[in-house]
Amino acid sequence: MANLKRVGAREAIDAFLRWADKSGNNVILCDELKAVSGDGIKFVPRNSLASQVDILVSMGGDGTLLASARAVGDSGTPLLGINLGSLGFLTQLTPHQLVPALDAICKGDYQIEPRMVLRAETEGMADAESPYALNDVVVNNGPVSRLIDINLSVNGEDIVTYNADGLVISTPTGSTAYSLAVGGPIMHPRMEAMIAAPISAFALTTRPMIFAPDDVLEVRIVSPDHKGGLALDGQVMLPIKGSASVVIKRAEYHLKFIVFPDNTFYKVLKSKLHWGHTPRAL
């Protein structure tokens, strides 16, 4: 899968196809890439891709990889992310690293890193493409900018009612995404936990909390009009109906990320967040 709007996408796909032809490997492209010319290329729908390949290569930004993760679902197909964007915490490799990475995979010189996934349940969820999220489940104030009251309970026990713009429930993988932007902690993606981080809470004593992976979180908007929205990985959006609650728990499967020993999570953090660099005056 690839985002053709990204600079360098076509060049990366061409490099992939040349590598496959030279190495004798078969390549199947998502049918959204039919603008890519080439004889003998097999195209299949996005939702059929994971079942027909040994690995799924996602080229683009983190948004493309999140879409790829939704396409993979519980199939168990490993994901390899190639970063054609700017930041890219999920898509850690550059296009220049693509061919060496593919060669290493063919030799078995790689590791599989399981990533925790969240499942959300609420009224109307049957209308959604998928109830799962790799990064986060967000309950917010919807299209109207206003503070709302959001109640959080865990395993049936009432914990706190936030007066805020929303609440981010994140996985460790998503700890470097929206959760980080609202003040949540950074967690290693191999960890198993859930982070609850309020968005612009109207109380200085309100802080993010970390919950055990087997906990069941229930979020409910308790403002008088009960209006709000639900977002899964920023890609699936649903209105919250009335006083309906959103139940969030660990999914019954993990996603498999392809990683390499010389490209650790901490190296990525140092590179992306510019740790260790002295700020320079403009």
Q: How far is CA 136 from the centre of its chain?
A: 7
Please compute, for residue 55, the number of CA atoms within 13 A of its CA located in the half-sphere on the CB side. 21
Three-state DSSP class for residue 56 = strand
Q: Is 62 a catalytic residue?
A: yes
Token reading at 184: 């949540």
Q: Is 126 exposed, middle or buried (0-12, 13-18, 19+ CB in 10 A)?
A: exposed
Tokens 């709000």 belong to which residue?
Answer: 228
Q: In what order do the strands lie in the sheet with 217-221?
A: 132-133, 118-121, 245-250, 217-221, 148-154, 157-164
14, 62, 74, 149: the catalytic one is 62
The one-letter code for the residue type at 236 is: V
Token reading at 125: 């969820």
Instruction: Name the β-bridge partners of 115.
Output: 255
Q: What is the DSSP string of 237-261?
A: EEE--TT-EEEEEE-SS-EEEEE-T
CA distance 73 to 70: 5
Which residues carry out catalysis? 62
